[in-house]
Amino acid sequence: MDVRRRLPAVDALLGHPEVQLARRRHGRRLIRRAVRQVLAEARRGLAQPAAAAPDVDDLARRVLERLDELARPASRAVFNLTGTVIHTNLGRSPLAEAAVVAMTEAARHPVALEYDLDGGGRGDRDRLVEGLLCELTGAEAATVVNNNAGAVLLALGALGAGREALISRGELVEIGGAFRMPDIMAAAGCRLREVGATNRTHARDFEAAIGEHTGLIVKAHTSNYAITGFTARVPETRLAEIAHAHGIPFLIDLGSGALTDFAALDLPYEPQPGDAIGAGADVVTFSGDKLLGGPQAGILVGRRDLIERIRRHPLKRALRLDKLTLAALEATLRLYRDSDVPQHDIPTLALLTRPEADIAATGERLLPRVDGLLAGFEVTLASCASQLGSGSLPVDRLPSRALVWRSLTEPRRQREREIRRLEAALRCLPRPVIGRLTDGALLLDLRCLEGASEEAAFIDQLAQLPGLYAASARQDGGGPP
């Protein structure tokens, strides 16, 4: 007799008491899907010689596990213990509570997005944030798109298509995802004209390069690298003078963008859009979800006539923001305008300015809960250095503390294998924990683990780690820990 015939029918497994209880959390449609998948896998397994049919209780357990997998969203909250505060792969800046509330309200209700409540006619969605951006930067006008790459592309296309764009060789940046300034200029229809040398560019280099085909001068803030040593750069005020003397626009791409004085917060200096406007820039572009601490957005501020040209470009509609992002951006900008302590109200600023002593205290509380959790590992609390991330201030570091996990196994190759298993097991927790591997150890930087509720959520799931670690070891053929 074919042993596969001993498997229960779909309806029989659906009637198992444990599966029936699951209907309180999952609909019948999802449960039926899970049952069919589990039975199909069991049927394939029974095709092997000498395979024994699983009992119904075991199949029901597998169905419940599959239900959890099917119901789990792909976009999941994680613990960012990498030491990179604004982590691109983890969604960059967490939003302020005011922004979360604003997004929720915009999602739940119709909003006056492109409707003029005063006049009763069609409005412009830019008006939701333009006034705030002008007030915070000193610009005459502002517009917003989906990210800063889009902002640069749009500005270049609107202001310099078919003409030359002058930029220093030392600013031909490439950021994550192979985004290169030369490529974005080509996509915008500009002809790149490199000026000066990689490490030294002078005002005379720009003046000599300007000709009848010059469309604009571009400056890109080198936010994700630094050139040191024998260097020279042209001040923004001088570049503005050169551009204006020849009647061409001066565009500055700030990249990260900041709307507060970082030096006053005891953080490394970061140029602000208002500084660039004050230096004579005609258009300034920057991100919404980096140092500003808001949602993903590309922000353009500057001269009214040039911002209007940018608004009229056909690409503007393709890059426009939706109502949820605009609601979050408006709420974030209002915090910068109205809050007495934006460094407390905006989570990114709060994490960047978090006192080292506070991080150390978190580590002291957590160390007894993790040390001894896994046999064969030791855990210590050590000093480390966090970074801002997402291309912001690449050289500067922030003092922090980390839980450092090391395997006590010999030889070294086995130690490294077990550390990788641990790292994989942490990623399998209900709320995955993301750390970083360094010198044969796993570091969990605690800078971004702030608040009693976050600590409690981290601790509450630690009991599951030994089982997940054992499963990870079996999966890669290492046997039980």
Degrees, nearest 5: CA angle 201-205-207: 135
The Cα 295–Cα 332 span in angstroms is 8
The Cα 337–Cα 401 span in angstroms is 33
Confidence tier at 173 by pLDDT (50, 70, 90)? confident
What per-residue confidence (pLDDT) applies to 47? 77
- Give the Cβ contact number of residue 389 at 10 Å: 25
Q: Which two tokens stand for residue 366?
A: 């957590």
What per-residue confidence (pLDDT) applies to 40? 93
More confident call, 8 vs 472: 8
Kindly tell me if the per-residue pLDDT of 480 is higher than 60: no
Which residues 6+ apart lie within 8 Å of 55 measured at CB? none
Strand 141-145 and strand 214-220: pairing? unpaired
Which residues 6+ apart lie within 8 Å of 253 measured at CB? 148, 151, 152, 218, 219, 220, 221, 284, 285, 286
pLDDT digits 0-9 by tens, 398-412: 999 999 999 998 888
CA distances from 340 to 260, 337, 344, 418 (A): 12, 9, 9, 48
pLDDT digits 0-9 by tens, 140-159: 999 999 999 999 999 999 99
Where is average pLDDT lowest: 35-39, 160-164, 221-225, 283-287?
A: 221-225
The Cα 298–Cα 287 span in angstroms is 5
The Cα 315–Cα 256 span in angstroms is 22
Which residues 6+ apart lie within 8 Å of 189 measured at CB? 156, 157, 160, 161, 162
Confidence tier at 227 by pLDDT (50, 70, 90)? confident
What per-residue confidence (pLDDT) applies to 49? 73
What per-residue confidence (pLDDT) applies to 316? 96
Average pLDDT over residues 448-469: 95
What per-residue confidence (pLDDT) applies to 391? 59
Confidence tier at 396 by pLDDT (50, 70, 90)? low
Which residues 6+ apart lie within 8 Å of 42 measured at CB? 7, 53, 54, 59, 62
What's the whole-number average pLDDT of the chain? Answer: 91
Whose tokens are 């670690």? That residue is 469
pLDDT > 70 fraction of the chain, expressed in percent and rounded = 94
More confident call, 349 vs 232: 349
Helices 465-475, 412-427: crossing angle, 10 deg rounding: 120
pLDDT digits 0-9 by tens, 337-357: 999 999 999 999 999 999 999
Instruction: Measure the CA dihedral 63/68/72/76, to 10°.
Output: -150
What per-residue confidence (pLDDT) applies to 176? 59
Kindly tell me if the per-residue pLDDT of 428 is higher than 90: yes
Confidence tier at 54 by pLDDT (50, 70, 90)? confident
Sheet holding 283-287, edge to edge: 141-145, 298-302, 283-287, 250-255, 214-220, 164-168, 191-195
The Cα 326–Cα 334 span in angstroms is 12
Strand 174-175 and strand 179-180: pairing? antiparallel
Q: Which two tokens stand for residue 156?
A: 């270049």
What per-residue confidence (pLDDT) applies to 55? 86
Strand 214-220 and strand 164-168: pairing? parallel
Q: In a 10 Å sphere around its CB, with 0-12 CB exposed, 13-18 middle and 19+ buried, how is residue 267 labelled?
A: buried
The Cα 320–Cα 334 span in angstroms is 21
Kindly tell me if the per-residue pLDDT of 393 is higher than 60: no
Average pLDDT over residues 274-281: 96
Kindly tell me if the per-residue pLDDT of 113 is higher than 50: yes
SS3 301: strand
What per-residue confidence (pLDDT) applies to 171? 82
